[in-house]
Amino acid sequence: MLPIRKRQWLNKMPLRFSFLFLTLFLGCSDPQSAPDSGALHVEFFTTDRSGNALTHPMGGMDEHATDLWMLGKSFFHIPWVEAPSATTARDGLGPLFSANTCTTCHPNNGAAAVVDEQGAVTRALVFRLSQPSKIPDDALRMIGFVPDLVYGGQLSVNGNAKVASEGTPQVHYETIEGRYDDATPYTLSRPLYAIDALGYGPLDPQTNIAAHRAIALVGSGLIEQLSEAAILAHADADDQDRDGISGRPNYVWQEGVRVLGRFTWKAASPSLLHQSANAAHNDMGLSNPLFPFENCTSTQITCNEAPKGRHEFDLPQERLEAIAFYLGHLKAPLSKAYAHAKQARVLMDDLACTRCHVRSFETTSGVRIEPYSDFLLHDMGKELSDGHRVFEASESEFRTPPLWGVGLHVKSLLHDGRARSIEEAILWHGGEAHASRDAFKALDASGRRLLIEYLEHL
């Protein structure tokens, strides 16, 4: 993992705007938000629940900020092409890549389904490859993880002309039958993956394959505006309060400094700038100032020899910053009014869901948000383990995914999209969340319905 550049003026930008919003809109609450959700600032939230819900710009941006936002939006949407090409502003795709635009995996800033109508794995499911570490834990914590020597850290399902793609993922399912305490049966399906058509010889049997689905970009700018202290306040690494739940932060190394991870399934990314750069490099093969090299390992000769873009970077600093600015200035969806919201909120507390899916936070500029996450790592047990250690996250630890907007994208849930509904997602909870899951299983049908319907309104 490479050092991350300081964010310069960009860092201060959202904060300045937020103060402006605060003075202008303090106290404005939205008619559609839950009655007890207090003063939510309309400039940061939208009541739109359509397919466009995640695409709206935050309010209050001046002309310069609006231009930057539009620039970021265009680079998020454009299809990149192979170098060399006449359109140098958007060439440099690959040589190895998964998709040619961010929107393949994040359509309308959401997350695409992980399997298509024919049941084939889509590009929105990426496969992280890692080797068991032979180096000491302290060193591993600094580099993140050890990639596969031949295939690198992520499988590329596409290649440019003359560069073979790395392979084609296949999935089949194992069916698991279970019963609620009231004897109602349910069925879960566990995905089992294999990689066919390997382009560069057999995969080292020691290499771990972890499937991670795309994450919907919900309220990313507001998450970035949480202080470290606000997140760390929920950490309880040694489970001092003895409730069986012990959230821990993940820390990512950049320029020799340990910074808090808050994005991605294992909280392995500290900022939108970093994650955008990571995506550009790993998902699209675009070199950039944070990941200045091509997406090839030293053994992939045709990849190394393929034509490169004419510029130093396929995605230069100012365009990368524009993408991060765009993602940092999108409105978050407001929850839809739900007749039994009060009871459902009490039930979520009773079932200890909100020990991890923490309801409410305040950003550094005083905006109250309800993301339903603590942004910390939790051990989710053997059943959900993906075998992938990254920075300080173990094989079975995941960041609590925020649940705001979950009702907008319920088709593929959990880190590998194995859950086809909110109900299935809850039933997969294990490890630190097993007591919470068992309490859910002990509810009668109306209690289960109450909880699920409420979450669908978030």
Residues that bind ligand HEC (CB under 6 A): 76, 98-99, 102, 104-106, 123-124, 126, 212-215, 217, 220, 245, 263-265, 272, 275-276, 279-280, 283-284, 323, 327, 351-353, 355-357, 378, 380, 384, 398, 400-401, 403, 406, 413-415, 422, 425-426, 429, 432-433, 436, 440, 451, 455
Cis peptide, bond prior to residue 316, ω within 30 of zero: no
Q: What phi and psi, each to the nearest 5 degrees, are found at residue 306?
A: -65, 150
Q: Which is nearer to ligand HEC, 93 or 296 (CB)?
A: 93
Whole-number Cα distances in Å, 296 to 83, 156, 209, 301: 15, 10, 18, 8
Q: Which is nearer to ligand HEC, 25 or 419 (CB)?
A: 419
| CA–CA gap between residue 224 and residue 230 (Å, rounded) | 12
Q: Which is nearer to ligand HEC, 42 or 284 (CB)?
A: 284
CB of 281 to ligand HEC, least distance (A): 9
CB of 28 to ligand HEC, least distance (A): 26
Q: Which is nearer to ligand HEC, 150 or 443 (CB)?
A: 443
Q: Token digits for 418?
A: 């194995």
- Tell me how many degrees the CA angle 239-243-245 measures, rounded to the nearest 5: 60
Does residue 451 come out as left (phi exceeding 0), alpha (psi in the -120 to 50 range) or beta?
A: alpha
CB of 237 to ligand HEC, least distance (A): 13
CB of 388 to ligand HEC, least distance (A): 8
| CA–CA gap between residue 414 and residue 422 (Å, rounded) | 9
Q: Which is nearer to ligand HEC, 33 or 278 (CB)?
A: 278
| CA–CA gap between residue 400 and residue 377 (Å, rounded) | 6
Torsional sign, CA 388, 392, 396, 399:
negative
Q: How many CB atoms lie within 10 A of CB 183?
A: 6
If you search the block for the tokens 């069925």, which residue do you land on? 187
| CA–CA gap between residue 341 and residue 346 (Å, rounded) | 9
| CA–CA gap between residue 86 and residue 95 (Å, rounded) | 17
Length of the chain: 458
CB of 356 to ligand HEC, least distance (A): 3
Q: Which is nearer to ligand HEC, 171 or 245 (CB)?
A: 245
Q: Which is nearer to ligand HEC, 303 or 403 (CB)?
A: 403
Contacts of 346 (CB under 8 A, 6+ apart): none
CB of 308 to ligand HEC, least distance (A): 18
CB of 61 to ligand HEC, least distance (A): 19
| CA–CA gap between residue 92 and residue 85 (Å, rounded) | 9
| CA–CA gap between residue 156 and residue 176 (Å, rounded) | 31
Q: Which is nearer to ligand HEC, 251 or 263 (CB)?
A: 263
| CA–CA gap between residue 418 and residue 429 (Å, rounded) | 12
Q: Which is nearer to ligand HEC, 301 or 445 (CB)?
A: 445
| CA–CA gap between residue 131 and residue 266 (Å, rounded) | 17
CB of 98 to ligand HEC, least distance (A): 4
CB of 381 to ligand HEC, least distance (A): 9
Q: Which is nearer to ligand HEC, 65 or 414 (CB)?
A: 414
CB of 16 to ligand HEC, least distance (A): 22
Comparing CA positions, the residue from 159, 155, 151, 147 lying closest to residue 96 is: 159
